[in-house]
Amino acid sequence: MKLSDFGERIAGDAGILRLMDDLGRALSGGKPTAMFGGGNPAHIPAVTHTYERQLRAIATDPVQLQAMLGNYDTPQGNDRFIRAIVQLLNDQFDWGITPDHVAVTPGSQSGFFMLFNLLAGTRHGIKRRIMLPIVPEYIGYADQLIEPACFMPIRPTIRKVGQHEFKYRLAAQSLSIDDSVAAIAFSRPTNPTGNAMTDEEVSRLAAMARQAGVPLIIDSAYGLPFPGVIHDAATPYYDDNTVISLSLSKIGLPSARVGIFVGPPPLMKALSSANAIVNLASPSIGQYIARELVASSDIMELATQHVQPFYAERAAHARQLFMDSLPPDLPWRFHIYEGSYFFWLWCDGAAKTATQLYDYLKKRGVIVVPGEFFFPGIDVSTWPHAQQCIRINFSRPDAELTAGARILADGVRWMYGNK
């Protein structure tokens, strides 16, 4: 079988494949001691019950049921769902958007595939790339581009904070934009690091993007308006040159595959056209389950009353546990936690790599994600930092966190060759 170059690339050892594989195996096979590797949102009973109520209401209404199961929606998305999203965003943030500013995709993951490939690639002989202004970035962006080498990753500066924390900052001096940049994109808060780019950093990037006439793309999968798992200091940013992506996944509906893109109408029209070609339409089920919750803004209550407190409590508990468990005399550091469902641990100056640590921990029943995959476009062998980090999903039950923290502490000691 001969695959195309692109086929070879996406069928190869992509980081996201390894992640999904490990997750699937770990959840279906022998139960690991600590499942810190997953990207699934936690199952929060109040959230599940809310969706159950919506589903039951739809199931007992033959007209809605028929429409939800038996019709394709338009490639742009379900009309009532889109109108509800527009109203919610205008009520919450006063963005002044219309339905033409919205495109719904089958999950934001496939939305990014379409959006990035609409923008990046060769145009009139010039290779145009997606600038990732702070890398590490979301693992799911890597390998998305049909034309290779179309990411322009920027290494951040690292600000060490106290004994055991750090924060990535935009390396302003490395930022310049020319014809070869097709868009600037980042997740806020960032999966995997828990970083939230500051308002000042976002404004600087927005100004650069506007000046160059390219869109600023902000992936808000964990951010505002829902689930809103981001610290208060990060103000949501939007202007007429910005694309914001939202998702129903991190508010408890990952299997429904609903991504929501908000941006300039011509670009959203192009995204809907791409959606028609690739998917015909996006799945309706999630849009039906959520649309009354969005229209009534009950989804905001779900976020503020249930999802945000859950992650705040888990994050505080897990952070304390990890800080107390890891060997105090070694120079490991966690990224300051400003949002998302993850912690990012850096073993500064360690002798071994994150992939080696991943294998060590896996043998002992602790699943994490090695950091090397979160550096799209960067040859990690040229940057020791990129081989010294792991991502930890902290939203696990107490017993798992406690057992996992102990084994992680052994792993960190082993990383530095002290055991």
Binding part of the chain for ligand PLP, among 82-90, 103-111, 120-128, 360-368 by CB under 6 A, reads 103-111
Looking at 296-368, list the stretches that DSSP marks H as alpha helix, in order from N- to C-terminal side. Answer: 298-301, 308-325, 354-363
Closer to ligand PLP by Cβ: residue 18 or 127: 18
Closer to ligand PLP by Cβ: residue 187 or 387: 187
Cis peptide before 265 (omega within 30 of 0): no
109 binds ligand PLP (CB under 6 A): yes
- Residue from 50, 76, 78, 108 binding ligand PLP (CB under 6 A): 108
* Amino acid occupying residue 200: E
Whether the Cβ atoms of residue 343 and residue 192 lie closer than 8 Å to each other: no
Closer to ligand PLP by Cβ: residue 221 or 271: 221
Beta-carbon contacts of residue 243 (< 8 Å; ≥ 6 apart) = 115, 215, 216, 217, 218, 261, 262, 263, 264, 267
201 binds ligand PLP (CB under 6 A): no
Binding part of the chain for ligand PLP, among 80-88, 223-231, 246-254, 309-317 by CB under 6 A, reads 246-254
136 binds ligand PLP (CB under 6 A): no
Beta-carbon contacts of residue 191 (< 8 Å; ≥ 6 apart) = 39, 138, 139, 221, 222, 340, 341, 342, 391
The structure tokens listed for 16 are 């996201």
272 binds ligand PLP (CB under 6 A): no
DSSP characters for 270-303?
HHHHHHHHHHSS--SHHHHHHHHHHHTTHHHHII
Task: State how far the alpha carbon of 262 is from the alpha carbons of 98, 214, 291, 318, 337, in Å.
Answer: 10, 15, 16, 34, 27
- Residue from 39, 75, 215, 370 binding ligand PLP (CB under 6 A): 39
Closer to ligand PLP by Cβ: residue 228 or 411: 228
- Residue from 241, 247, 275, 393 binding ligand PLP (CB under 6 A): 247
At how many degrees (to 10) do helices 107-119 and 265-279 cross?
Answer: 110
Task: State how far the alpha carbon of 346 is from the alpha carbons of 285, 293, 402, in Å.
Answer: 40, 39, 20
Whether the Cβ atoms of residue 19 and residue 373 lie closer than 8 Å to each other: yes
- Cα angle 326, 334, 374; round to 5: 120
286 binds ligand PLP (CB under 6 A): no
42 binds ligand PLP (CB under 6 A): no
Tell me the residue nearest to ligand PLP as measured from the CB.
Answer: 107
Closer to ligand PLP by Cβ: residue 261 or 334: 261
Binding part of the chain for ligand PLP, among 107-115, 116-124, 290-298, 369-377 by CB under 6 A, reads 107-115
Burial of residue 127 (CB within 10 Å: 0-12, 13-18, 19+) is middle
Binding part of the chain for ligand PLP, among 16-24, 104-112, 321-329, 352-360 by CB under 6 A, reads 104-112
- Give the total residue count for the chain: 419
138 binds ligand PLP (CB under 6 A): yes
- Residue from 78, 193, 249, 282 binding ligand PLP (CB under 6 A): 249
Please, what is the minimum distance in Å from the beta carbon of residue 330 to ligand PLP? 29
263 binds ligand PLP (CB under 6 A): no
219 binds ligand PLP (CB under 6 A): yes
107 binds ligand PLP (CB under 6 A): yes
Total residues contacting ligand PLP by CB under 6 A comes to 14
- Residue from 156, 259, 339, 411 binding ligand PLP (CB under 6 A): 259
Closer to ligand PLP by Cβ: residue 247 or 287: 247
Looking at 326-397, list the stretches that DSSP marks H as alpha helix, in order from N- to C-terminal side. Answer: 354-363
193 binds ligand PLP (CB under 6 A): no
The structure tokens listed for 301 are 């209550």
Closer to ligand PLP by Cβ: residue 219 or 372: 219
Q: Which residues bind ligand PLP (CB under 6 A)?
A: 39, 107-109, 138, 140, 187, 191, 219, 221, 247, 249, 254, 259
